[in-house]
Chain A
Amino acid sequence: MSSINQGTSVAVRALDELPKDQREVYSARYMADESREATCRRLGMDPAHYDHLLAQTLRSLRRMAVPVSACPAAA
């Protein structure tokens, strides 16, 4: 596994492990390259709620465990 894939595994796992509302914002923003405005329009979401969800999404990602293979000690 390349170093990029080790690091990305958390980001990919997020699609399964994030709560549904956070996953929608996450996939739209980082995978579909959809703008904040477009996502709010499509989902009928208030921009302030989008910002809150995005902040919560990033915190959720931080709480996800780093894969052991990405740890220097395991290399």
Chain B
Amino acid sequence: MPKIVTDFEKDVPAELVVTGSRDGFSERGRGLLFIEMIGGAAADLASPDGEYYDETLAWVKDPRNLEAWLQIVDASPTVIPSLQTAFLERPNELKVACEYLSRSAARTGGGLERFMRAMGMDSPQGASSLGDMDNYDEVAGANVVGLSAA
């Protein structure tokens, strides 16, 4: 019988290796979806009199929801408390940060690390502040100034 090759990464020529996500989402798409999901929730929470405020507030308060969406970008669950605090204490700033990072993600394909830093969350590289956002991109502009001053 022919030998069955199980070390696929070693034996399959590099040009034939499929590097995209099995579920059909690119890394860029996955990051963009996460950021816009969070940004959408922040936008609804920024309007206490809005139609969607109550249901969005209930969604944010259940950590299982944030857990699931953080898994989409393979982020640490330790981010959840910081994210919930940001949602509830400064939804407008979170919304603006998400809008900024969404634009960045659309161009660069990244975003989570910057998202965490922008929100002042701990990350593997250490915590940062909202003011650090303008180190990343030329479009930081007025939105970042507003965030830094908040």
Further 12 A-B residue pairs, CB within 8 A, beyond A8-B23, A35-B106, A70-B71: A5-B23, A7-B67, A7-B71, A7-B72, A7-B74, A8-B25, A8-B71, A11-B72, A12-B24, A30-B29, A31-B29, A33-B29
A72–B69 contact, CB under 8 A? no
> What separation, in Å, do the CA atoms of A70 and B106 have in the docked complex?
27
Binds A, one of B9-17, B36-44, B115-123, B129-137: B36-44
Query: Range of interface residues on chain B?
Result: 20 to 34
Chain A residues with Cβ below 8 Å from B52 are 59
Contact with B along A50-65 (1 / 0, CB 8 A): 0000110011011100
A8–B59 contact, CB under 8 A? no
Chain B residues with Cβ below 8 Å from A3 are 71, 74
Query: Range of interface residues on chain A?
Result: 20 to 34
Of the residues A35, A55, A72, contact of B67 by C-beta under 8 Å: A72
**How many residue pairs, one in A and one in B, have C-beta atoms under 8 Å apart?**
79
Chain A residues with Cβ below 8 Å from B74 are 3-4, 7
Sample of 14 A–B contacts (CB below 8 Å) = A6-B71, A8-B72, A10-B68, A11-B23, A29-B29, A30-B25, A30-B29, A30-B32, A31-B25, A33-B26, A58-B40, A59-B52, A62-B65, A63-B55
Given the contacts A66-B64, A66-B65, A61 and B37 also touching, CB distance less than 8 Å: yes
Q: Is A71 an interface residue (CB 8 A)?
A: yes
Which of B30, B64, B68 neighbours the largest number of chain A CB atoms within 10 Å of its CB? B68
> What separation, in Å, do the CA atoms of A54 and B72 have in the docked complex?
19
A70–B70 contact, CB under 8 A? no
Q: Is A67 an interface residue (CB 8 A)?
A: yes
B33 to chain A, nearest CB (A): 5
